[in-house]
Amino acid sequence: MENKFKYSNNNKRYHTLDYENHQKHHGKVCKISLNASFSCPNRDQNGNGGCIYCSKLKSGEFAGNQHESLEEQFTKISKMMHQKWPNAKQIAYFQAGTNTYAPIDRLKETFEPFVEREDIVAISIATRPDAITEECYRYLDSINQRKHLIVELGLQTVHERTSKLIHRGHDLACFENAVKKLRALQIEVVVHIINGLPYESKQDMIETVQYVNTLNIQGIKIHMLHILKDTLLATLYEKQPFHVLSREEYVDIVVTQLEYLNEEIVIHRITGDPKKEELIAPTWLLKKFCVLNEIDKEMVKRNIYQGDKIIKAQK
Ligand code: SF4
């Protein structure tokens, strides 16, 4: 069946990153994930051990090797990417840890070489809303004047009770304030949410997406919670096992969330991508393409597209 969804260049019924990259950068774009060895205030300062799902690599499982310089990491990963996509353009993605959690001079040392490179079309910085100082906002503004800048923030859930359970370490007001400040500077914002957090219902997860619709954000990463070895989450799961979503449940929830999600929000990620050696559960996540296919099939079966619930409600 022909796909009539306007924000996709293939069979997807949601707003794909590939489509968006072609619009903005006129071709295939690869993300080069880097580890700049930043720490995290939620681990250093809050006395809670950090987010309960955080691994020793601080969410940078697929980033470059932190023992190599950023330039070495970039060159190595870029070479691998170009073997697969010889003409792809590149985004420098600062993934591991909290990438604005350092004095401004260190931030400049880290980002400036990449801002200046002509072979990089954008810089993407993953951080926390409570780790951006006023001085840092001014610096982010300066980057954004010179290069396409994306800032990624972790929301995970709209529900404060879950936020406390997972040690998110900041409240919703702090998150909203950061989104508003970044948008006032016209910086693109991508928000992370996690499905399957302990004790959340399908309705809870839909409410998180409905909340996201109220923010002026440009992209979303939808993750499936995965339990990794040597994390606080693994300890909780061992002591007090909670329900881990099955693949069928996850697909049902994501497809329903997409129906509720504003069609203009770009989907940067739609499932989890854990390392096999580190993973305790759920193991179905290892078959990433299977999950993606099931999502596509379910959207066809229900004959729905991203944002349908909003569009229908407006009619
Ligand atoms: S904000 Fe990121 S790096 Fe910091 S504790 Fe949470 S998951 Fe880990």
Residue 5 included in any domain: no
Residue 11 included in any domain: no
Centroid of ligand 1 to alpha carbon of 43 (angstroms): 7
Which pLDDT score, from 0 to 100, does residue 67 have? 86
CA-wise closest residue to 111 among 141, 78, 67: 141
Centroid of ligand 1 to alpha carbon of 154 (angstroms): 9
Residue 307 included in any domain: yes
The percent of the chain in helix, strand and coil, each rounded to the nearest 5, is 45, 15, 40
- The percentage of the chain sitting over the pLDDT mark of 70, rounded to a whole number, equals 97
- Asked whether the whole model's pTM tops 0.75, one would answer yes
Residue 303, domain extent: 17-314
- How many alpha carbons lie under 13 Å from residue 134 in its C-beta half-sphere? 0
Contact between 95 and 62 (Cβ < 8 Å): yes
Quick one: CA dihedral 284, 287, 290, 296, positive or negative? positive
- Give the contacts of 216 (CB within 8 A, at least 6 positions apart): 179, 180, 183, 189
**Residues 130-188: pLDDT tens digits?**
999 999 999 999 999 999 999 999 999 999 999 999 999 999 999 999 999 999 999 99
Average pLDDT of 215-230? Answer: 96
Residue 310 included in any domain: yes
Residue 12 included in any domain: no
**Banded model confidence at residue 225, pLDDT cuts 50, 70, 90:** very high
Residue 10 included in any domain: no
pLDDT over threshold 70, residue 260: yes
Is the C-beta atom of 169 inside 6 A of ligand 1? Answer: no
Residue 224 included in any domain: yes
Q: What is the DSSP string of 130-177?
A: GG--HHHHHHHHHHHHHSEEEEEEEEE-S-HHHHHHTT--S-HHHHHH
Is the C-beta atom of 128 inside 6 A of ligand 1? Answer: yes
Q: Count of domains in the chain? A: 1
Residue 9 included in any domain: no
Centroid of ligand 1 to alpha carbon of 40 (angstroms): 6
Q: Parallel, antiparallel, or unpaired: how do β-strands 266-269 and 227-228 relate?
A: unpaired
Place of tokens 């597209």: 305
**Banded model confidence at residue 60, pLDDT cuts 50, 70, 90:** low
Position in ligand 1 atom list of the atom nearest CA 126: 2
Report the CATH number that the domain containing residue 184 is assigned in CATH. 3.20.20.70
Q: Parallel, antiparallel, or unpaired: how do β-strands 29-34 and 89-94 relate?
A: parallel
Least confident piece of the model among 3-12, 169-178, 187-196, 242-251: 3-12
